[in-house]
Amino acid sequence: MKCERLKILIRDWYQEVRNFTLSPVKMMELIEKHIKNCETCQNDEDLPLELDQLREIIRVPYTSTPSQDFNFGFEEQEYIYEEEILEDGEEI
């Protein structure tokens, strides 16, 4: 990370995340907001990799995009556990 200001902000925000006063998602939003307004960060080639590592450290929950489809390729829904029903209606 080349931006000293971002380093300080991340350190401060990370302490807030550890103290449960700031959510990891909000921390990443603040970082992205800083990057949009900082020329040093925008020109830092290593920053995306470092941010990925940071996401792993603070365990930012995965958020899906609206375009993602949760179809896992199953055409029919299969049940792992099916009860067998006897002829007289009694379940096994």
pLDDT of residue 57: 87
Dihedral of alpha carbons 44, 55, 31, 11, sign: negative
Inform me whether the pLDDT recorded for 92 exceeds 60. Answer: no
Q: How far apart are CA 86 and CA 90, in angstroms?
A: 5
Residue 17 burial (CB count, 10 A): 20
pLDDT of residue 63: 56
Mean pLDDT across the chain: 78
Instruction: Categorize the per-residue pLDDT at 64 as very low, low, confident or very high, splitting at 50, 70 and 90.
Output: low
